[in-house]
């Protein structure tokens, strides 16, 4: 049985400090990451929540999230964004980030697929 995500008090504090709407969206992203990568460890990187997909995972082995006034940022890595570009057409995205507006539900199924894709890249 896979062990649960190692939670971080620092990540908890970051999320708790956000406005309610942002907090809800960040918790939704966090739940998707946990579902797709149950062995991930939480930490702070660049002052935002990060999820190491492998033990001791460095920046290129992490997925990151962040809260903003009108959206939440999701940072799964450029390769993942490129692989899912068609499915991300409804969202603002760049090479390294995706913006999910706070006024819309977080696309949970898509996020889980992206995290699983990124996790599969770690098992090469």
Q: What is the pTM of this model?
A: 0.90
52: Cβ contacts below 8 Å, ≥ 6 apart = 40, 41, 42, 43, 58, 61, 62
Domains, the chain, in order of start with CATH, read 9-122 (3.90.1150.200)
99: Cβ contacts below 8 Å, ≥ 6 apart = 68, 71, 72, 73, 74, 91, 92, 93
- Whether the CB-CB separation of 6 and 44 falls below 8 Å is answered with no
**DSSP letter (8 states) at residue 69:** S
Inter-axis angle of helices 9-16 and 20-36, nearest 10: 150
Q: How does pLDDT run along the chain (124 residues), one tens digit per residue? A: 344 456 678 999 999 999 999 999 999 999 999 999 999 999 999 899 999 998 888 888 999 999 999 999 999 999 999 999 999 999 999 999 999 999 999 999 999 999 999 999 876 4
How does strand 62-67 pair with strand 71-75? antiparallel
110: Cβ contacts below 8 Å, ≥ 6 apart = 84, 87, 88
């Amino acid at each position: 049985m896979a062990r649960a995500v190692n939670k971080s008090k620092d990540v908890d504090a970051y999320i708790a400090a956000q406005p309610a709407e942002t907090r809800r969206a960040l918790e939704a992203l966090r739940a998707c990451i946990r579902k797709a990568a149950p062995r991930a460890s939480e930490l702070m990187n660049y002052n935002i929540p990060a999820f190491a997909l492998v033990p001791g995972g460095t920046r290129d082995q992490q997925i990151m999230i962040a809260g903003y006034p009108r959206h939440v940022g999701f940072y799964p890595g450029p390769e993942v964004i490129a692989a899912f570009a068609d499915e991300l057409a409804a969202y603002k995205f760049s090479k390294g980030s995706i913006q999910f507006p706070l006024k819309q539900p977080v696309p949970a199924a898509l996020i889980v697929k992206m995290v699983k894709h990124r996790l599969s890249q770690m098992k090469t």
